A = this chain, B = another copy of it.
Amino acid sequence: MARAATTSDAFNAVAEPRRRQILLYLAHDERQVGEIVTAIGLDQPSVSKHLGVLRSVNLVRVRRNGRHRLYRTNAAAIRPLHEWTETFEQYWRHQLNRVKERAEAQANPKPLAK
């Protein structure tokens, strides 16, 4: 089997840096494709293709307005990623505590028991 399609889920879609950039750009309010093109600095077909990927996993919503298409990030679709990473939070906290404790022990050594 080859690598999973970028369109297979949000994890794969978001692996591409330009798509993350686009999602940030479209998070606050909707923009038409031309605006994205100038903001991101890619050519129009590339942007359209990235938008296609994002659409296919519901990371963006589109609305037509005359000859424009207004895109906007669908933040809810990012939630599963947030939740997955969150399951590791307790572990990195743990790691940080251990580092901190070692630093404190170094600075202020506990006397050995007699």
Count identical subunits in the complex: 2
Q: How many residues of A contact B (CB 8 A)?
A: 33
Task: Flag whether A105 is at the interface (Cβ < 8 A).
Answer: no
Complex Cα spacing A73 to B4, Å: 23
Contact check, A15 vs B24: say whether CB atoms are below 8 A apart.
no
Task: Flag whether A78 is at the interface (Cβ < 8 A).
Answer: yes
Complex Cα spacing A76 to B89, Å: 8
| Residues of chain B lying within 8 A (CB to CB) of residue A11 | 14-15, 17, 20
| Residues of chain B lying within 8 A (CB to CB) of residue A20 | 11, 84
| Sample of 19 further A-B pairs with CB below 8 A, known A73-B91, A82-B85 | A3-B3, A3-B16, A4-B16, A11-B20, A12-B15, A14-B15, A20-B84, A23-B88, A24-B87, A27-B87, A75-B92, A75-B94, A76-B95, A78-B88, A79-B85, A79-B88, A81-B85, A82-B88, A82-B89
